[in-house]
Amino acid sequence: MHLHSIYHREGTVVCKKRCPPNDRECLTNNTQTVLYSSYSLPTISHVPEPMPLTTLRFVSSRTGHATRTRYQILSGNNRNCFDVRNMNRFGWLRLVEPVLGPDKFLLLLQMDALGYHNRVITRHLAYVDIDVSVYTF
């Protein structure tokens, strides 16, 4: 079962960093974008296999020198209902455990493009707000 057929995506907002030419602190900060996305899910009482919720990918042109990417959930996943699958330059946020509504999750994801010696070239943060309905569909 693919989750794309049963969830509703509310909207996405992306904030891109723009630094003044002489702002050293801004220029040396690797965070390039902060994304906010919102989803509505039904109650899902059985998860036989991980269900992809959304695909994650970099939007920065500075990732051309990246040797690999790393996606991770930093917070909001206290019950381990979600995970992130990494593959090449893509990641997938997946539902891996049942979610029973009404419930809410605010996940903070970090997406890093890594260069040689695993040095962070660019970083992107994503806040994913998930609202779980009491109803099943």
73-126 pLDDT tens trace: 999 999 999 999 988 778 899 999 999 999 999 999 999 988 888 888 889 999
What pLDDT does residue 2 have? 42
Each residue's pLDDT tens digit, 20-61: 889 999 888 888 889 899 999 999 999 999 999 988 876 555
Domains and CATH numbers, the chain: 3-132 (2.60.40.60)
Rg (the chain; Cα; Å): 16
User: Is pLDDT above 50 for 11?
Assistant: yes
User: Is pLDDT above 50 for 137?
Assistant: yes
Mean pLDDT of the chain: 85
Instruction: For residue 10, count CB atoms less than 10 angstroms from its CB and return exposed for 0-12, middle for 13-18, buried for 19 or more.
Output: exposed
Q: What is Dmax (Cα atoms) for the chain?
A: 54
Q: Are 3 and 50 in contact (CB under 8 A)?
A: no
Q: For residue 105, which of 78, 134, 72, 86 has the smallest C-alpha distance?
A: 78
**Strand, helix or coil for residue 28:** helix
What pTM, to 2 d.p., does this model score? 0.83
